[in-house]
A = this chain, B = another copy of it.
């Protein structure tokens, strides 16, 4: 009898013991979008609000990872916090489409199983990242879109909201500005030029994302976005595309991208970083930098990404002026940055 009790106690203590070992480290990296983010056009109040938003997101994931929770749980919880924060272009705070709607995309991927889930063009799901996870866990599908994805989310207990939940004054003004710029561009050609992006892409895109390594050695990635301001015709960017904006593989890395989505799709950005590690034996940072600092601008795009590998190495390259970003490690080290020169 005594022996049985002893065994039980050992099992209960295992997670706690694991944390004390050096190998039981965890890492959480986040981004809140890349773009023309300049210190001179930022107020101290706004900067503080962004940093607090990033810190709150890191705290949510850290609370899970510290207790021995999974990378999947951590990235979902982290992205949910960013989705709920109107400062970031995802969930509440999503930008408006040309028709004045908020169409949201999200994806999540489990590096242990290579299972993935995503939703695109949804308008009534409070936290698209949670719907994406349910697609992964409760279906054999990867990608569900539009009203079909919404029906699925509702059937599976996701919090549904009226589309007006996503309306924010700042994003509405962004749409009016973008519409004006686009209508000037499109004076003589209603289709072609209206789909070209004007010079100032500042209000145009933004995404949130999280990648994590947990103490069990598993990687996960999650990305969520409201897409491009003034987007038309059911445009879908890279965020919900597995391999483009989101990818995780325990053998290599977990990646979440942010930037001009079309270029991330054409380069299959996240998978390209992973394949550089797997096939060319590059480090995470070298692989990510080659893609973001060379291949992406060479094609005419811009943006950034965050990544973590199975050893806990971190990368956060971007070729824009700034990227809201940060990380927290199991040793307590916390970093939050916005600008290039940070």
Contact = CB atoms under 8 A, between A and B. Distances in A.
Contacts of A151: 233
Contacts of A262: 140-142
B266 A234 contact: no
A68 to B, nearest CB: 27
Given A233-B151, A242-B244, A243-B243, A121 B138 contact: no
A37 interface: no
A147 interface: yes
B147 A234 contact: yes
Contact of A195 (B139, B233, B243, B279): B139
A180 B275 CA distance: 42
B271 A242 contact: no
Interface class of chain A by DSSP: mixed
Given A148-B232, A191-B156, A233-B152, A142 B242 contact: no
A4 interface: no
Interface residues of A, number: 52
A330 B147 CA distance: 47
Q: Which residue of A116, A120, A156 has the most chain B CB atoms within 10 A of its CB atom? A: A120
Contact of A236 (B115, B144, B232, B261): B144
Q: How many copies are assembled?
A: 2
B271 A145 contact: no
Interface in A271-308: 271-272, 275-276, 279-280, 299
A276 B121 CA distance: 33
B235 A114 contact: no
A169 interface: no
A110 to B, nearest CB: 10
Contacts of A266: 114-116, 142, 242
Nearest to A110: B266
A152 B191 contact: yes
Interface of A: 114-116, 120-121, 138-149, 151-152, 155-156, 190-192, 195-197, 231-237, 241-244, 247, 261-262, 265-268, 271-272, 275-276, 279-280, 299
Given A242-B266, A275-B276, 9 more contacts: A114-B266, A139-B192, A141-B262, A144-B234, A145-B234, A241-B242, A242-B244, A271-B271, A271-B272
